[in-house]
């Protein structure tokens, strides 16, 4: 685990402990049981054409604030109008300015699946995600031991949710496959130095396998990059910064879809 990722995971653990003290797992279990049924994240990404997971985040640890007018409800609706296959909501507080509350209002505003994006290392975070209404959560291979990844993936599926399992190289793909991942996100950003390599998706496509959903993450700046990744065989792209900075994010999604 890189120092940057380790720091973000530590922050997420502290945030989780604060929330656990305020709302125990027993209370979340009641809320999770009453939550609307999960929407099918994997199927949404397998629809014909290039899918877009449109990401909502007020800021980035490396880029700072991405908007000075963050309105989760309006943004989620704009993403859906633009044709997003799913919406990713950052709930990490310190590094990204997110909040679990943002997921609640985004999920209520749209009909597409909603992903909780955070640094998940604990079952409490997954239970909390379901109680908030999430349809899927992010798991990072780089942040978890292989057996722990498999445990959390099984726990996620107990609730009928799915995981976007993020990898950075061939070894991590093998770990994700061994754990049973069916939706694999290839992050083109090297978390050690933040460099971008969009050729990574093409190089890992066959290793991931055609039966699984593959998502290209990071470094998608516009339609040209989206087409490049579509030719490389990805089923969907996850796009955040470009949409957060766009004057009309819905129109930008339409351009990405082509």
| From 128, 162, 166, 172, active-site residue | 166
- Indicate if 147 belongs to the active site: no
Nearest to 92 by CA among 52, 129, 63, 127: 129
Distance from C-alpha of 102 to C-alpha of 50, rounded to nearest angstrom: 26
Is the pLDDT reported for residue 122 higher than 90? yes
- Indicate if 230 belongs to the active site: no
* The CATH fold of domain 3-257: TIM Barrel (3.20.20)
Q: How do residues 164-205 score in pLDDT, each as one tens digit?
A: 999 999 999 999 999 999 999 999 988 777 789 999 999 999
Distance from C-alpha of 129 to C-alpha of 104, rounded to nearest angstrom: 9
| From 117, 128, 201, 230, active-site residue | 117
Is the pLDDT reported for residue 68 higher than 90? no
What phi and psi values does residue 199 have, to the nearest 5 degrees?
Answer: -75, -10
What radius of gyration do the chain's Cα atoms show?
Answer: 17
- Indicate if 123 belongs to the active site: no
Compare 93 and 85 and report the one with higher pLDDT.
Answer: 85
Q: What is each CA distance from 137 to 17, 42, 157, in whole angstroms?
A: 19, 12, 10
- Indicate if 55 belongs to the active site: yes
Q: How confident is the model at residue 64, as a pLDDT?
A: 83
| From 88, 162, 172, 187, active-site residue | 187
Nearest to 203 by CA among 224, 188, 189: 188
Instruction: Calculate ∠ Cα 84-240-110, nearest 5°.
Output: 35
- Indicate if 62 belongs to the active site: no
Is 76 in a helix, a strand, or coil? helix
Is 165 in a helix, a strand, or coil? strand
pTM for this predicted structure: 0.95
| From 128, 162, 172, 217, active-site residue | 217
Is the pLDDT reported for residue 212 higher than 80? yes
């Amino acid at each position: 685990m890189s120092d940057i990722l380790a720091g973000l995971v530590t922050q997420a653990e502290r945030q989780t402990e604060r929330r656990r003290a305020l709302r125990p797992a027993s209370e979340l279990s009641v809320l999770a049981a009453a939550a609307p049924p999960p929407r099918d994240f994997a199927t949404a990404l397998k629809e014909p054409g290039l899918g877009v997971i449109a990401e909502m985040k007020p800021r980035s640890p490396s880029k700072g604030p991405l908007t000075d007018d963050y309105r989760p409800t309006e943004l989620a609706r704009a993403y859906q109008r633009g044709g997003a296959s799913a919406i990713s909501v950052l709930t990490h507080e310190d590094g990204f300015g997110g909040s679990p509350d943002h997921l609640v209002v985004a999920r209520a505003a749209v009909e597409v699946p909603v992903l909780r994006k955070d640094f998940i290392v604990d079952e409490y975070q997954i239970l909390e995600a379901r109680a908030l209404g999430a349809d899927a959560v992010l798991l990072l291979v780089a942040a978890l031991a292989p057996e722990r990844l498999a445990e959390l993936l099984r726990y996620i599926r107990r609730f009928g949710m799915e995981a976007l399992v993020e990898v950075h190289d061939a070894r991590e793909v093998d770990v994700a496959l061994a754990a049973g991942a069916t939706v694999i996100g290839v992050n083109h950003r090297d978390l050690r130095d933040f460099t971008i390599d969009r050729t990574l998706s093409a190089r890992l496509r066959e290793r991931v396998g055609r039966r699984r959903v593959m998502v290209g993450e990071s470094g998608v700046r516009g339609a040209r990059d989206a087409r490049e990744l579509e030719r490389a065989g990805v089923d969907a792209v996850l796009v955040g910064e470009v949409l957060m900075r766009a004057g009309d994010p819905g129109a930008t999604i339409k351009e990405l879809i082509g």
